[in-house]
Structure 1
Amino acid sequence: MTKKLQRDRSALDIESSKQVDYLKDEVAYRLVDRLLDIKRKYDTIVDLGCGCGHVVKHIDQDITKKLLMCDMSEKMLERDKNMKFDVEVERIVVDEELLPFAENSVEAVISNLSLHWVNDLPGTMIQIQRSLKPDGLFLASMFSGDTLFELRTSLQLAELEREQGVSPRVSPMIDIRDVGSLLARAGFTLTTIDVDDIIVNYPTMFELIKDLKAMGESNAVLARRPFLKRDTLLAAAAIYKDLHGNSDGTIPATFQIGWKPDVSQSKPKPRGSATMSLKDMLEK
C-alpha cells in the first residue's frame, strides 16, 4: 500500500514525473535490446510493473503485436494514455503478487525495474512461471545489491553521529547472487543473469533524493523512522560529498541493475544420454 501511494503521488505530479523518466527509460531500452537477441515474434507480451510506459517506447511490430501494460497504480498507467505507440496497448491494474493470468496462457512476461518492491518475490516468480506457455519467456531487470550504496552509507554514518542509531533509510535490495536460486525454486530453467552499473551524477544529495521521490522510488520500509532531522540530512550530504564526491563537486549515485532472462521450458539432456563422443566430433 505504501508503494502504491508513492507511485500514485509520482504520477499525479506529471511534470516532475516526466523529468525523471531518464533512468527507467534507459534501462527499458537495454531490456528491449536483450529481447531482440531472442529471434522470435510474440502475439502478446505482458509488461509487469510497467509504470508510465517505459518499455512500450522501445517496442515495435517486429517484436510483438500487442503489449499488455500492468501496474498496481492506475494513475501511473493513465499518465501517458494519450500517447501513440507502434504496437497495440492494453492497460490493466495488476498487483504483482496476485497475477490474474491463467496457467499456460502467456507467451512472454517482461518487467522493468519493478520486482525489487515485491514483498513475496519467490511467490511472484512462481506465478509468472505458471502463467507462461511452454517455451515462454521471462525477462526482467531490477535494482540489486549495491544500488545507492553511496546514499545508504552516508545516511547511516550521519545518523550514528547525530542520533546514536541507524534506521533503514534506503530500502534493501536483493543480492544478485540469490536470484538464480529463486528462479530455480520457481521452476525456471536455462536461466542467465548479468549485472550493469549505471552511475548518474547529481549536484548534491538533495537533488538525488528529490528525483527518487519523483520516480516513486522512495523508501517504503515500514520500520523506518518517519522523519529525518535537518542537521542529520546536512551531515549526510557533507559525508556523501567527502566520501564519494567527484572532483567537479558533483556526487555520483550508483544504480546496479540485475538482468534475469529466461526461457522456461527447455531442459538439458540427462547426463550420459549423448549418442556421439566429443572425440569423434573433433576428429570430423
Structure 2
Amino acid sequence: MIEPAGEVIFVESVTIKDTVIPKLGLGTWRLADKECRDMVLAALEDGWRHIDTAAMYANEAEVGKGIRSSGVPRDDVFLTTKVWYDKIAPEDMIRSCEDSLDRLGLDYADLILIHWPNPRIPLKESIEGLLELKARGWVKAIGVSNFTSGMMREAQGYAGGALVANQVEYHPLLSQKRVLEAAEELDMAITAYAPIARGRVSDVPVIRDIAKKHGKTEAQVALRWLIQQERVIAVPKTARRERLRENAGALTFELMPDEMDALFALGSASGRTVNMDWAPKWDSE
C-alpha cells in the first residue's frame, strides 16, 4: 500500500537537549547528480523535512541545490552531513566542514557527524574539532556515526554531554541493544541507516504477517518499528518517488506492543549488512 502525497503529516520528532530532529529523513547515499537533486526536491515537496548526506557521498552540491530550489525556508529543513574518517583531526575537520558548506551552498548544517571512528586520531582531539565547529556557528548540533556503546560513552565524556546522536545501521534484523542503552544513558538519539536491511525485511514471515494485518508493506512496518522507539530516527534512501511516498506511510499507523516485541525478537548481532574494513569491533548485541 502506498499513500499518495499530501496525506502524510511529518510531525514526529525527537528532542535531544535543544535539538529537534524529524524522526523520518531522506538518506542520500549513492544518489548523484540530477537524480539526487530531484529526490531531495521531491522529498521536500512531499513534506519531508530531514535530509541526510555526507562529504563521502560526493553529492552535497546536489543536495544543496534540491534544498534551495524547493522554496522551503532553510530553518524548516534539518540537514545532516558527515566528516569522513580520515578528516577528523581538528584542523582537517574544520576544512572539511567549510568545504561541505561551500558545496551545499548553505550557511550552516543542523547536525554534523564523525562518519566513522578512526583509531589513528585521538578521539579527544576529534571531539574538540566538533565542538569548535559548533562554537563557530557552522553547525547547530554535533554527533557521531558508527560508534559502539563504549565509544559513545568515551566521546560524550570528552564532549561534556554535547553530542546529540549516533548514526548506526539498525533494523529489525540487527540488534543494537547496547547502543540503545548507551543512548538512553547519555541522552542521545540513534539514527538508523539501512533501516530496511537493504530489502531483506521483505523476506521475513513475521514482518510479512504484521504488514498484512495493517495493510502496509514490510518496509513500512520496519520503518514504523524504528520511529516508534523513543530515541530512534530512520533515514531510508530511495531513488524513486513512489518508494519515497511508501516510506512516508510509516507515519500513518502504529504497531501494537506485542508487534513491537515480535520485531525486537528478530534482531541479532549477525544481522549486519554494512561492515567496512575499518569498522570498530561491534557490540555483541
Q: TM-score, normalised by structure 2?
A: 0.34
Answer 1 or 2: which has greater helix percent: 2
What TM-score comes out, normalization by structure 1 length?
0.34
Which has the greater radius of gyration?
A: 1
